[in-house]
Amino acid sequence: MSNDGKRTAHVSPASAGFTRRAVIRSLAGGSLLMPGILSQLLADDSGQPSAELDPLAPRRPHFEPKAKRVIFLFSTGGVSHVDTFDYKPKLVAADGSTKGAGGPISLVQEPLLKPRWEFKPGGECGVMVSDLFPHIRERMDDICLIHSLTTDHLDHFEATLGIHTGSFSFARPSLGSWTSYGLGTLNQNLPSFVVIAPVLPYAGTQVFSNDFLPAYHQGTRVLPGKEPIPNVRRQSGPGDLQSLELGLAGAFNRNYLRRIGDNSELAARIKTFETAFKMQSEAPEVFDLSKETDETLKLYGFERGQADSFGWQCLVARRLVEHGVRFVEIIDSGSSNNWDAHEDLTTYEPLAKKIDQPVAGLLQDLKRLGMLDDTLVVWTTEFGRTPGRQTANGRGHHPAVFTSWLAGGGVKGGMVYGKSDEIGATVAQDKVHVHDFHATILHLLGLDHERLTYRHAGRDFRLTDVEGNVIQEIIA
């Protein structure tokens, strides 16, 4: 087990009385593989917090949480805010006039380009959304748009890293890894942090890396297909052969323990093999959609067997959080063929069509299952796009202001927070930096972003560096 146990004092154990003894008991509960070592382990009860023995055990957050789990939707490439969720009638009127940021990376004056799509009011709240997202528009009563997000970098790699890790230069632990570190997980037969990404975005696996946090908290990438989680398929031939092998290894390990004396790390190690054994049956079950009705599949907008669809990603995400996974990230496109419309905004139509109904279906499904109240759904991208044109029908990168949204998990629905200026070029009101966005997500999970720290390379690190303010106004 890890030496990180010493460093986890900043996160309180599940309760003050949750001692090492209790943890060993829970680890050993129903154990097939480790009878006999329990009494030895219990003999030395030093009252250490649970994290030392079991870094993924569910932990009590810093304060009462609104959300227990997160589904984080990421659209790669920099989604144009003015063509999707940020309605700018003045930009329509100003089409062609030269007064706004444009060009490839928003540093030059280029003629303004009006949004390509009509905006219409959605839900009872009447929040305006473009025709790219007719299904999500219907869910606006559950969604809180943030129109005033801003980021620190104008290129994909750094901005993608930033929105995932709070760091724009060096790799750091991902938001999902911090969440796993802070809260543990509710079902150890599955990873705590799962990433459903058929293709990788900019910055690659670094966006869901645990980096300096222990490997328990790394994002496990899931690929549609026969073996979504690596190595869950049994390889040992006949059905009981693997059990025999684990049984023999278990017997050797028990003897070994007797010889070397008390070693509490062994409990975690033995537990790990049990978890892995159970994961072999539980993981395929989560990815088996045969018990989902045709009606549910339709809600997510895909047909049975279409495992390559975004709807599959969304439905599997719901099943994963239902089974106790703490943080699920869904990535819609990779580092090419994405929302990076420098030249042709019409590419947005297939991209939007691909995610619109599945995302709306996910919100609807969570709601009818009563899960939206404590499941936070986040949609974001790395930056916005220039209100001025780059080419005749394209927009450049625009970190100065962009839109993202939150839904469920204790967030007010039917709400808009912050404002961009009248052409969507700068923040006009209530600026939300990426660090504020992260601080708010952690807050909804009951975690104080200033107290969720990890000591590395001689100092404490946070997801939010030395910044970040929680947006209190959007919390229900």
Partner 1 sequence: MLTLSGGLDESMGGAHPFPDQTTWEFSEHDPFKAVYDTRRRSVYMMTQRFQKHPFLALFDGADTNASTAERLTSTTALQALFLMNDPFVHQQAQGFAGRLLSERADDAGRLNRAYELALGRPSRADEAAEAMAFLQRARASLQGAGISPDQLTAQTWQSFVRALFLTHEFIYVE
Contacts to partner 1 by CB under 8 A? 1-4, 55, 155-157, 170-171, 188-189, 191, 200, 202-206, 209, 211-212, 214-216, 218, 220, 229-238, 240-242, 244-249, 251-253, 255-256, 260, 265-266, 268-269, 272-273, 275-277, 279-280, 335-336, 340, 457
- Hey, what amino acid is at 196? I
- Residue with Cβ nearer partner 1 (209 or 380): 209
CA distance 436 to 475: 13
- Hey, what amino acid is at 461? F
75: helix, strand or coil? coil
475: helix, strand or coil? strand
Please, what is the minimum distance in Å from the beta carbon of residue 275 to partner 1? 4
- Residue with Cβ nearer partner 1 (220 or 380): 220
Please, what is the minimum distance in Å from the beta carbon of residue 225 to partner 1? 16
- Residue with Cβ nearer partner 1 (265 or 450): 265
Please, what is the minimum distance in Å from the beta carbon of residue 269 to partner 1? 5
CA distance 207 to 204: 6
Please, what is the minimum distance in Å from the beta carbon of residue 47 to partner 1? 22
Please, what is the minimum distance in Å from the beta carbon of residue 337 to partner 1? 9
Q: Is the dihedral of CA 103, 434, 140, 289 positive or negative?
A: positive
460: helix, strand or coil? strand
Please, what is the minimum distance in Å from the beta carbon of residue 253 to partner 1? 5
- The 10 Å CB-count burial string (b at 16+, else e) for 188-213 is bbbbbbbbbbbebbbbeebbbbbbeb
CA distance 409 to 201: 26
Estimate the crossing angle of helix 348-368 against helix 310-322, to 10 degrees.
30
Q: Is the dihedral of CA 179, 181, 186, 189 positive or negative?
A: positive
Please, what is the minimum distance in Å from the beta carbon of residue 357 to partner 1? 27
- Residue with Cβ nearer partner 1 (291 or 459): 459
- Residue with Cβ nearer partner 1 (93 or 107): 107
Query: In Å, what is the CA distance from 22 to each residue of 36, 47, 54, 348, 374?
Result: 16, 9, 11, 54, 28
Question: Which residues have C-beta within 8 Å of that of residue 1, sequence separation ≥ 6?
Answer: 52, 53, 55, 265, 268, 269
Structure tokens at 423: 């052409």
Please, what is the minimum distance in Å from the beta carbon of residue 310 to partner 1? 20
| Maximum Cα interatomic distance, the chain, rounded to a whole number of Å | 81
- Residue with Cβ nearer partner 1 (137 or 395): 395
- Residue with Cβ nearer partner 1 (108 or 249): 249
- Residue with Cβ nearer partner 1 (250 or 358): 250
